Amino acid sequence: MAKRPPKSIAINPDGYAAEYVGRTADGRQFFLTTPFVPAAGHDTPAGCEFLALYVFDTSGALVSATIDNLGPRTAMDEPARLARRDALLASLGAVTYRRIKVAPFRIEMFGVEFGLIPQPSEEAGDDWSVIAEPGNYMCFWPPWTSGDYDT
């Protein structure tokens, strides 16, 4: 049982929320993802979509975060979003899609908290979790080395 937050979590690439997870040629780790604020949430009645590229050093510490505000889902320009995704991936150079091991983090942009954020259990004695925010769209549980998540 994990009675405290993890120092790091593993993320396995998949065909869903962790599609773009891996390493650059120089060993940095990356996670390109699509956080969101749900409609009627956080002072955004229409919601808000984001494209986020998190880059970590070889030991898993966050070194940079590039986050683009794409606006409400109903007004999002999908071809522009895909082009920006491709540009962000290209900015990394040669990459290998593979498992990463990174430290939880939190940052604020656009008045919204982003990151892989540790959360204590609501029940005393239960496990901590790590949540991909905003949007609570990935939830990691112990064992932190599994690389798996819930949606």
pLDDT at 4: 84
Angle, vertex CA 133, rays to CA 110 and CA 30, nearest 5: 95
pLDDT in tens, 38-67: 887 555 567 899 999 999 999 999 999 999
Contact 130, 146 (CB under 8 A): no
Q: Which two tokens mark 59?
A: 């030991």
The segment with the largest mean pLDDT, out of 45-49, 72-76, 104-108, is: 104-108
- Local structure of 41: helix, strand or coil: strand
Of the pLDDT bands very low, low, confident and very high (cuts 50, 70, 90), residue 124 is confident
Domain boundaries, the chain: 9-140
Q: Which residue has the tokens 């049982």?
A: 1
**Total Cβ atoms within 10 A of residue 124:** 7
Report the predicted TM-score, pTM, of the whole model to 2 decimal places.
0.92
pLDDT at 149: 95
Question: What is the Cβ-side half-sphere exposure of residue 41, based on CA atoms within 13 angstroms?
Answer: 15
**pLDDT above 70 covers what percent of the chain?**
95
Q: Which residues contact 8 (CB under 8 A, 6 or more apart)?
A: 60, 101, 102, 103, 104, 144
The Cα 57–Cα 44 span in angstroms is 33
Q: Which two tokens mark 65?
A: 């975060």
